[in-house]
Structure 1
């Protein structure tokens, strides 16, 4: 069991692989007392030093494979750094010692729902690669009538700017009036693919929520802006879907096994309303908070009997409660 030296050094956090290759080529790295060469492989138990200082390391197969589910809210971007200083999905993730989180796929700034993060770059690449045909499931609110003919067009395939695209499945899951919710599945992760498929039929997507990625389902109890870590069983199921061998995994914050069993028995019933109700609760909570703030401002600014606005003197002396009646005489 061995691994390339520059890859190990990059994972430790000392720099990119290309920079580590330059450091190795400069003769600054030694393995077991010998000057190392670019491309040299290192094994567990070897002594690794840079500029004479010992470096602690782990081979990739020894590292605990970790996977997070993150519930992306609207308004966050899928990037580590943003020139406009907008909030990013990485802001709310837990720190990971001597490693980094790799994002699996993306969601545009106006989309919400499930995002996967892992410390295993190979797992992330396989989950995103089109050849593995990993399913992505979405709940989509559409403005406009989806006729049987339009539905059939999107299932059979449409032509987009970057090639043909289609939905693997299409089901109505609720809604009133011109805004109705649908559940769709795609096997690619092209930029704004779901939105563009609907737009090709003259339909506008007003909300988009990812509810599943491969074998991983967005937990209904998970709130927006929060994360949960998969347990070993869930991680193994995910890695098997892309033909990766199991590795040591975390046991923290595991998703309940019964949830997966329930989803297999009644996939529509378990998923259909939970996210939509949660979205409504979040919206109502935000609106309720805004109304309460407005009510408080009105109370502070209401007119008194003289027509003058009451203003609380924050810096003045406070009046004592009650009336000072003095001492009682005996």
Structure 2
């Protein structure tokens, strides 16, 4: 038999040894590709598999170098957080998803613009408790028919005044007590007095209107301070949400100038007070980037709690997020000033980056750095009644 004879396809047939050698080389090539990809992931400080890590601690979009993120402006790669911030400034200057000149947009880009156009009108919320939203039905005893109960739109007068943006509820009680509030032309001094939407409420001669509740969630960038007004004319978080609504909204809590991540704004004083008060134990999740690897001994100390100058401080949960042990996830409900930074500084670590990735059960998915969105009705109800 002639070994050099060609087969029917005109190609030289392979021997069994040649086929095996080819398969082995192919497997080696695939193995080397996987190995190279894994080494590259390790160099970037991120393992492809994150087994054993809580989902809330996984790195979100747009936090770390040489990553790809996907937001409402499409998928893009970047080398630093400042890229996203500069993108936001360009978007504000030229219009969202606009190119320089703006005249050569093709049909595909126009379609993308329509998809990613930001909602600019705050939604209307139905914020009744979930129990009271079951078609107005109430449970009756055995043998009794269910009867629908009409829902009352009446609210306490002090709450109406607070919702109108005049003052807090406690201050509203004082105005009522002083006889400065009238309902339908009659001065009311009774605490607990209830009003309906058709009533005309006046503070002195000013007619009060119930403000629409607005809830705005911001992904705060670096170098913005959390205040409504700064005497030194520095950049404030209010600059980032000024076009979100006509109502006066205020930040709930605060983030340091160099801290990034989620910050909530609202004119709902009840929700703001609930989320800010220590008794409600509102959970926050942070990603912490340290200047050096976190020692196992210090990891245990943080988990058990440390004594700071203003008392005992412990985290609810802690996890190391990268092989170099410089990236740490922390869940905490303590709201004391700079508490996360001070915990690590107490053990000799400097926090290089601090990013709040979750607040009261709400994450920053699909919110680019410096961007904001309105909360959904479901999210607001959870904050009002279940947070």
Q: TM-score normalised to the size of structure 1?
A: 0.62
Query: Equivalents in 1 of 2:179, 2:260: separation in Å?
Result: 48
What is the correspondence of 1:144-223 to structure 2 with a 5 Å cutoff? 144-174=292-322, 180-219=326-365, 221-223=366-368
Q: Which residue of 1 aligns with 2:279?
A: 131
In structure 2, relative to structure 1, the CA distance for the partners of 1:134 and 1:50 (3 Å cut) is: closer
In structure 2, relative to structure 1, the CA distance for the partners of 1:148 and 1:102 (3 Å cut) is: same
Equivalent of residue 47 in structure 1, options 180, 183, 200: 200
SS in structure 1 opposite 2:230?
coil
SS in structure 1 opposite 2:219?
strand
Query: What are the superposed Cα offsets for residues 124-149 of structure 1, whole Å, 9 maximum, x if unpaired?
Result: 22222222222110111101221111
Query: Equivalents in 2 of 1:206, 1:11: separation in Å?
Result: 40
1:237 and 2:382 are equivalent in the alignment:
yes
1:107 and 2:266 are equivalent in the alignment:
no
In structure 2, relative to structure 1, the CA distance for the partners of 1:37 and 1:206 (3 Å cut) is: same
In structure 2, relative to structure 1, the CA distance for the partners of 1:218 and 1:30 (3 Å cut) is: same
**Structure index of larger Rg:** 2
Q: Which residue of 1 aligns with 2:164?
A: 12
Query: Equivalents in 1 of 2:281, 2:180: separation in Å?
Result: 43
Higher relative contact order (CA 8 A, sep 6+): 2
Structure 1: any 5+ residue segments left out of the alignment? Answer: 243-330
SS in structure 1 opposite 2:337?
coil
> In the TM superposition, what is the alpha-carbon distance from 1:170 to its structure 2 partner?
1.7
Q: Is the CA contact 1:25–1:38 (under 8 Å) kept in the aligned structure 2? A: yes
Q: Which residue of 2 aligns with 1:86?
A: 234
Q: TM-score normalised to the size of structure 2?
A: 0.54
Please, what is the CA RMSD of the aligned residues? 2.8
Query: What are the superposed Cα offsets for residues 23-74 of structure 1, whole Å, 9 maximum, x if unpaired?
Result: 7677664322223337473401222235556x2533xxxx754322101111
In structure 2, relative to structure 1, the CA distance for the partners of 1:175 and 1:74 (3 Å cut) is: farther
In structure 2, relative to structure 1, the CA distance for the partners of 1:22 and 1:239 (3 Å cut) is: closer
Query: Equivalents in 1 of 2:351, 2:215: separation in Å?
Result: 30
Q: Is the CA contact 2:294–2:326 (under 8 Å) kept in the aligned structure 1? A: no
Q: Is the CA contact 1:102–1:120 (under 8 Å) kept in the aligned structure 2? A: no
In structure 2, relative to structure 1, the CA distance for the partners of 1:29 and 1:152 (3 Å cut) is: closer
Q: Which residue of 1 aligns with 2:373?
A: 228
SS in structure 2 opposite 1:174?
coil
Query: Equivalents in 2 of 1:50, 1:111: separation in Å?
Result: 41
Q: Is the CA contact 2:162–2:269 (under 8 Å) kept in the aligned structure 1? A: no
In structure 2, relative to structure 1, the CA distance for the partners of 1:170 and 1:40 (3 Å cut) is: closer
Equivalent of residue 183 in structure 2, options 25, 31, 36: 31
In structure 2, relative to structure 1, the CA distance for the partners of 1:40 and 1:185 (3 Å cut) is: closer
Structure 2: any 5+ residue segments left out of the alignment? Answer: 1-153
